[in-house]
């Protein structure tokens, strides 16, 4: 169960070096003593690497008076850290600048320095309008009423009021428009996180129902740059989930152009650009534009590194990196360079460990599956099983698609390891899982039955004939049912060919790939 002490530990360990250094200066500046108890407590908790340890804290400070009121000290420290972080970021965002300006014109107004106050208010209104900060602008326009009362006797006052009303209503309408787009995005994103790519009529209908929303009909429905950005994201997500990668890529490119032309108006700054690059990476990968995909990956890593260098913290930045690693690994996979791709594993697992609990579980499961696939293709089935077990033991509702194929790969590995006695049990378990989650498509059904039967064929000629028939059947399923996406989760046809041709799985894929190893270097 989460405790306030754990919250304090997590907050401290979420801080970067600059933020920690700033806090120590902040705490000393706001205390009558240069080396106060809160700094000591902060540094002690900061040194605890494996979680909060109350007994250790009590032992360290047993001679200090504040230890008798440790709970109060921890609460005070927690709030002081939050205040220091607000102060640290005070000049880094438009929101902070506008908040400061609001305080300034409010103080000046109360001191009856009306001209000075109105000058600052007008500057704040101009800045908020220029950067589409509609929530802040609505707040500023409400404050403006205090100045409006003083203009009642001025000429053209009625015209002035009409303009003010129009301005406020338009601002409210734009903010409402953004809120509606955001709600629609959250609904579609939630559907994607639970379902994955639509692979049957039922899944597709759920996405189509959301796409029929009036806000999705035309770009003109978006009343601002931020709303237009959400319009592009929604269309990208819809077309991606329903299999139209060409259209999804179109909207990704439009979004990148929008952010490039309006860097301050999309609401996310540098992180919005990085998110858009993530989508461009995904779409260029799915369209097999691997050179373009790697180009976008380079841009994302460069932009991310620049953000870290300038201490510009990006929310979800670790998650973006994990996502980019996932695509890079998959390019090694589809080109057959499994063993070369394994060189990335330590770096990727380092990120997984470092940011455990802070990453979107959907992205974690995806990259874990990719690592399991790498080990399988590199001829290390036992290590592949270890990674697959991380997916098989996951109890969340995320990425049922990867969980389904993790079970199929698990079954194939047991076949490779000649664990034939386990296959019958695993077969029942996998079929139960797929049926329960509405994922027992024809492709999976054919594969399941084939592996079960293949395990008991010992004659080589009979096995070869069975594999040839299986290959034909799967190709027919792919053509008939449009199940090409299933083959992207696991290249079963190449695995069958490796058995028929007496080659390694890796060599079969390499022989069909147009990607060279030299193309896979990011730097």
10-residue mean pLDDT profile of the chain (523 residues): values are: 73 82 76 64 85 85 79 85 76 74 88 89 89 87 84 82 89 92 93 84 90 92 92 94 91 90 72 82 84 82 61 58 80 87 86 77 86 92 90 83 84 85 80 74 78 83 88 81 69 87 89 73 55
pLDDT of residue 187: 94
C-alpha–C-alpha distance, residues 139 and 227, integer Å:
20
392 CB burial (10 A radius; 0-12, 13-18, 19+) = middle
C-alpha–C-alpha distance, residues 216 and 264, integer Å:
24
C-alpha–C-alpha distance, residues 80 and 501, integer Å:
67
**Residue matched to tokens 């129902």:** 209
Residues 6+ apart with CB under 8 A from 125: 137, 140, 141, 144
CA–centroid distance for 183 within its chain: 18
CA dihedral over 60, 65, 70, 73, signed as positive or negative: negative
Helix (H) or strand (E) holding 475: helix 460-481
C-alpha–C-alpha distance, residues 92 and 115, integer Å:
28
> Closest Cα partner for 15 from 82, 74, 101?
82
C-alpha–C-alpha distance, residues 515 and 509, integer Å:
10
C-alpha–C-alpha distance, residues 134 and 279, integer Å:
26
C-alpha–C-alpha distance, residues 408 and 452, integer Å:
11
C-alpha–C-alpha distance, residues 367 and 330, integer Å:
9
C-alpha–C-alpha distance, residues 292 and 112, integer Å:
60
pLDDT of residue 206: 92
Residues 6+ apart with CB under 8 A from 332: 338, 340, 341, 344, 374, 520
> Helices (H), strands (E): how many in the chain?
26, 0
Contact 255, 229 (CB under 8 A): yes
Q: Determine phi and psi for 356, rounding to 5 degrees.
A: -55, 130
C-alpha–C-alpha distance, residues 19 and 138, integer Å:
32
Angle at 203 between CA 202 and CA 208, to 5 degrees: 95
Residues 6+ apart with CB under 8 A from 487: 443, 478, 493
pTM listed for this prediction: 0.56
**Residue matched to tokens 């046809």:** 493
**Residue matched to tokens 């000046």:** 108
Q: In 262-399, which ranges are continuous DSSP H helix?
A: 270-286, 290-309, 317-335, 338-341, 345-354, 361-377, 381-392
Name the 3-class secondary structure at 78: helix
SS3 for 246-261 is HHHHHHHHHHHHHHHH
Contact 44, 57 (CB under 8 A): yes
Q: Determine phi and psi for 327, rounding to 5 degrees.
A: -70, -40
């Amino acid at each position: 169960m989460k405790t306030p002490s754990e919250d304090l530990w997590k907050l401290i360990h979420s801080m970067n070096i600059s933020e920690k250094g700033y806090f120590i200066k902040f705490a000393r500046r706001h205390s009558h003593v240069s080396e106060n108890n809160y700094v000591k407590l902060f540094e002690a908790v900061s040194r605890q690497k494996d979680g909060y340890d109350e007994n250790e804290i009590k032992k360290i400070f047993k001679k200090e008076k504040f230890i008798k009121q440790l709970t109060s000290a921890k609460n005070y420290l927690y709030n002081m850290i939050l205040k220091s972080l607000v102060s640290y970021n005070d000049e880094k965002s438009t929101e902070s600048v506008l908040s400061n300006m609001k305080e300034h014109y409010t103080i000046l107004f109360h001191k009856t320095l009306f001209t000075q106050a109105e000058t600052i208010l007008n500057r704040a209104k101009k800045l908020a309008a220029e950067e589409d900060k509609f929530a802040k602008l609505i707040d500023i326009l409400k404050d403006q009423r205090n100045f409006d009362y003083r203009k009642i006797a001025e000429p053209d006052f009625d015209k002035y009021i009409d303009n003010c009303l129009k301005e406020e209503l338009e601002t409210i309408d734009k903010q409402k428009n953004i809120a509606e787009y955001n709600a629609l995005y959250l609904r579609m994103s939630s559907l994607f996180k639970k379902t994955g790519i639509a692979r049957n009529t039922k899944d597709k209908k759920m996405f189509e129902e959301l796409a029929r929303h009036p806000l999705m009909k035309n770009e003109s429905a978006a009343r601002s740059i931020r709303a237009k950005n959400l319009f592009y994201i929604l269309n990208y997500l819809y077309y991606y989930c329903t299999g139209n990668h060409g259209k999804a890529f179109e909207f990704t490119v439009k979004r990148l152009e929008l952010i490039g032309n309006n860097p301050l108006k999309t609401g996310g700054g540098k992180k919005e650009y990085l998110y858009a690059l993530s989508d461009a990476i995904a779409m260029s990968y799915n369209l097999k534009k691997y050179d373009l995909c790697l180009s976008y990956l380079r841009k994302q890593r460069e932009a991310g590194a620049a953000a870290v260098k300038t201490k510009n913290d990006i929310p979800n930045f670790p998650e973006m990196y994990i996502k980019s690693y996932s695509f890079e690994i998959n390019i090694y996979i589809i080109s057959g360079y499994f063993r070369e791709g394994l060189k990335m594993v330590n770096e990727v697992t380092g990120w997984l460990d470092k940011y455990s609990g802070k990453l979107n579980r959907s992205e974690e499961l995806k990259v874990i599956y990719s690592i399991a696939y790498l080990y399988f293709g590199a001829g290390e089935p036992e290590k592949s099983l270890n990674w697959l077990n991380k997916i098989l033991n996951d109890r969340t509702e995320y990425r049922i698609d990867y969980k389904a194929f993790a079970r199929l790969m698990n079954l194939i590995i047991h076949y490779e390891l000649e664990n034939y006695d386990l296959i019958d049990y695993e077969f029942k378990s996998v079929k139960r899982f797929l049926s329960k989650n509405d994922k027992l498509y024809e492709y999976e059904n054919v594969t399941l039955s084939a592996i079960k039967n293949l395990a008991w064929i010992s004659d080589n000629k009979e096995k070869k004939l069975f594999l040839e028939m299986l290959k034909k059947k799967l190709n027919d399923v792919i053509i008939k049912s449009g199940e090409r996406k299933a083959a992207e989760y696991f290249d079963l046809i190449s695995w069958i060919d490796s058995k028929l041709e007496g080659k390694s799985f890796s060599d079969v894929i390499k022989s069909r790939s147009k990607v060279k190893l030299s193309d896979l270097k990011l730097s």
